[in-house]
Chain A
């Protein structure tokens, strides 16, 4: 392990993918396959959520098993604000980010006193507490969740009710997040948190306030998860407690590990691979979960550093 360095080749590949994603709705509409635009919006939203977890997990070295709680909080914030009349995306989405950031600040401040497996379990505990609290609140829909009457209003003549417009809004959020996270991990802050991941005791001895750095990283990760939640509730039209259950947190972890822990595009890659695999397999058989499980097992044994790691190995082999 060392500091994350983004190769020129990888940046080139990323811009090709971005161009493809930008052209995607036009292509789908030309082929009269509008359904796929909505599907890809979902993929991009999960890519954002997984990227936010990868910042905490891959660069900060904190295995958070409750990340879905911050996604869910963002979704509920938007649903509540919208039903209260705050329909503007410029109000509701930043509010979702702020609420999730505050929650992450609190959870992190308590959980970061423990480490290792105990940290995993205590973050899980907080997420489960929130899940049960929301389920029991009948005024917020309880088990059934809280519906969003209509997608938020962006202004400037862009109607998010149109799936293609919503897709571009999601894509813009994802690109902004990737730029932000990329910037962050190259900065001094990013070097310090990666240093802490490698050797916490040494960083502490050098004089860095380790707890503060980790808490900041955890909070930023939570805030970005809140943004993913705000987008998710707009996509599905429902803020549901199921979005906060521990299996969802597990799913996000699986996406990150599948894509590549501690690789800038790892989270996005894993989210896309998993969701598209699910979609393709479920078209062939109702027992698609069996296939997903088999693919995940294969990845664990054949590609220990995830898909991003696999790409690096292939590229190295080809270019000697």
Chain B
């Protein structure tokens, strides 16, 4: 039992870190530019597809991840310059409509290039086996994801907390007009932030590719989770996004693994079998509703 809990907790940590890669970009775009970007999940999908193509052509997983991250960052920057830049001054509803349109366009573009069927992205041969940590076996590839996730989160933290660019970003998130008045080139900052967000999306897409199916629509299901994360964490706060991601990742994974078993102890088997998965799926939304009820601004409000 403890081993199951430990293993699932590690899985939860891994899922949470990947969620963080998506949520970090989303929360910055939302916090600084006050923009609802539904198409954020599409960048995650595009990243995964590019990684799958490069991996198939070259046979190198590392190269695939690097190319996917670079190419998606460029796509993100171009998207910002061509379309999203015109939406910052518009109301949230126009942004929802426009970025919903972008979802349709990118889904269809991906379908035209890669076809309807899910694409395979194989994990590197060397990492396909398990490794032993602290007395139990754990898949090496999942461990790698945890490590890469931690490194990415740490570098993002350093970038935001210690560099000049990070200072501008924080200034923009807490008060955009004031930052602009102080001489921050907000327009260029927006493009850079968007490119970084896109790169993080691609990293998550490429890393999760071998575990989940690379298919059209993969962005939509994870997008809503990323929104839940940033609302729990507090919009505009990278620290909040990290805490929110870990809470959502761990509670979702543990809930799915343990709730059906726990329910079996208290209610009859057939009820537990159908109620368990439902409760596990509902758990994170319940969590969000509860947190918003007590702290309507999220756990770490960026605008103090």
Whether chain B is bound by chain A comes out as yes
Q: Which residues in A have some Cβ–Cβ distance to B below 8 Å?
A: 57, 63, 110, 113-114, 117-118, 120-122, 124-126, 128-129, 132-133, 135-139, 246-247, 250, 253-254, 257-258, 261, 287, 289-290, 292-294, 296-297, 299-301, 304
Contacts of B289 in A (CB 8 A): 110, 122, 125-126
**Contact at B293–A257, with CB atoms within 8 Å?**
no
Contact of A117 among B36, B93, B285, B288 (CB under 8 A): B36
The answer to whether A121 touches B292 (Cβ under 8 A) is yes
Complex Cα–Cα for A294 and B103 (A) = 11
**Number of residue pairs spanning A and B whose beta carbons lie under 8 angstroms apart:** 120
Kindly state whether residue B220 has any CB partner on chain A within 8 Å.
yes
- B94, CB-defined interface residue at 8 Å: yes
Instruction: Point out the residues of chain A lying under 8 angstroms from B231, CB to CB.
Output: 117-118, 121
Q: Known contacts A247-B220, A250-B38, A297-B102; decide if A63 and B93 are in contact (CB<8 Å).
A: yes
Stretch at the interface among B52-60, B120-128, B275-283: B275-283
**Which 7 pairs of residues, A with B, have the shortest CB-CB distance?**
A136-B278, A293-B104, A296-B101, A132-B281, A293-B105, A125-B285, A290-B108
Please encode chain B, from 111 to 151, with 1 for each CB lying within 8 Å of some chain A CB and 0 for all others.
Answer: 11000000000000000000000000000000000000000
Q: Quick one: closest B residue to A250, CB to CB?
A: B100
Q: Indicate if the CB atoms of B288 and A121 lie closer than 8 Å.
A: yes
A253 touches B96 (CB 8 A): yes
Asked if A113 and B296 sit within 8 Å, CB to CB, the answer is yes
Q: How far is the CB of A107 from chain B (nearest CB, A)?
A: 10
B158 at the interface (CB under 8 A from A): no
A135 and B288 in contact, given A246-B224, A287-B111, A290-B109 (Cβ under 8 angstroms): no
A301: B residues at CB distance < 8 A: 86, 98
Known contacts being A250-B38, A293-B104, A300-B98, is A137 close to B274, with CB within 8 Å?
A: yes
Q: List 24 A-B contacts (CB under 8 A).
A: A114-B292, A117-B30, A121-B231, A121-B288, A122-B289, A124-B227, A125-B289, A126-B285, A126-B289, A128-B285, A129-B282, A129-B286, A132-B282, A135-B281, A136-B274, A247-B220, A253-B96, A254-B100, A287-B111, A290-B109, A293-B108, A294-B101, A297-B98, A300-B101
**Distance in angstroms between the alpha carbons of A128 and B278 in the assembled complex:** 11
Task: Chain B residues near A126: list those with CB within 8 A.
Answer: 285, 289
A247 to B224, CA, bound (A): 10
Contacts A290-B104, A300-B97 given; 5 further ones with Cβ under 8 A? A117-B92, A128-B224, A250-B38, A292-B104, A293-B104
Bitwise, B285-304 to A at CB < 8 A (1) or not (0) is 11011001100110000000
Whole-angstrom distance between the alpha carbons of A254 and B273 in the complex?
37
A254 in contact with B96 given A110-B293, A117-B231 (CB within 8 Å)? yes
Q: Which residues of A contact B104 (CB under 8 A)?
A: 289-290, 292-293, 296
Contacts of B275 in A (CB 8 A): 136
How big is chain B's contact interface, by range?
Answer: 35 or more
**How many whole Å from A242's CB to the nearest CB in chain B?**
12
Chain B residues near A132 (CB-CB < 8 A): 278, 281-282
Interchain CA distance A124-B284 in the complex, whole Å: 12
A117: chain B residues at CB < 8 Å are 30, 36, 92, 231, 235
* Smallest beta-carbon distance A252→chain B, Å: 11
Residues of B within 8 A of A299 (CB): 97
Q: Which residue of B lies closest to A128 (CB)?
A: B285
Q: Which residue of A lies closest to B227 (CB)?
A: A121
Interface contact A257-B105, CB-CB below 8 Å: no
**B77 on the A face (CB < 8 A):** no
Q: What A residues does B296 contact at CB under 8 A?
A: 113-114, 118
From B36, B83, B108, B111, A297 is in contact (CB under 8 Å) with B83
Contact A257 B93 (CB under 8 A): yes
Given the complex, which residues of B lie within 8 Å of A287, measured CB to CB? 108, 111-112
Would A261 and B278 count as touching, CB distance under 8 A? Answer: no
How far, in Å, is A105 (CB) from chain B's closest CB? 16
Chain B residues with CB below 8 A from A261, complex form: 93
Chain A residues within 8 Å of B98, by CB: 296-297, 300-301
Residue from B94, B100, B105, B281 in contact with A290 in the complex, judged by beta carbons closer than 8 Å: B105
* Cβ B93 vs Cβ A296 within 8 A: no
The residue of chain A having its C-beta at the shortest distance from the C-beta of B223 within the complex is A246
Q: Is B13 an interface residue (CB 8 A)?
A: no
Bound: A52/B237 CA distance, A: 35
- Contact indicator B274/A138 (Cβ below 8 Å): yes
CB neighbours (8 Å) of A138 from chain B are 274
